[in-house]
Amino acid sequence: MNLENEFCYFYDDDAFKETDREGFRRRIVTGEKLQLCFWRISGGATGSFLHKHDEHEQLGIIARGKLDFRIGEEDDQRRMVLEKNDFYLAPLSVWHGDSVFIGDDEYDECWILDVFAPPRDDLREG
């Protein structure tokens, strides 16, 4: 039985695409008003920088591993460690990032589901 249609997406390891950042793979689904970016990031991967979005809200859910990062004011040096099933909200113009990705015991990966509203043009996949 074929369960696929234009509205359903099933877990498919081959659907994750490499990015220009070593250790980062992603799968993106974009709707009219929101976007999901499913990240699979190797434990210990680097390259995350402190940033903010002036036009997009971001909601992140940790599905595997841990995320050690900063969120809040640009000069706030406090770090937060989020584990599986924890989540964060980065409203417009809130600084976040400077991340350390801690892999889980099974895949040595940190899985993050990021939802953006509205969708980011730089993350649209053709």
Q: Which two tokens stand for residue 82?
A: 């989020």
At 123, is the secondary structure helix, strand, or coil?
helix
- pLDDT digit string (tens) for 87-124? 999 999 999 999 999 999 999 999 999 999 999 999 98
Cα–Cα distance between 64 and 71 in angstroms, integer? 20
Assess if CATH 2.60.120.10 describes domain 16-120.
yes
Domain spans, the chain: 16-120
Regarding pTM above 0.85, the answer is yes
- pLDDT digit string (tens) for 25-74? 999 999 999 999 999 999 999 878 999 999 999 999 999 999 999 999 99
Min mean pLDDT across 5-9, 16-20, 64-68 is at 5-9
- pLDDT value at position 126? 45
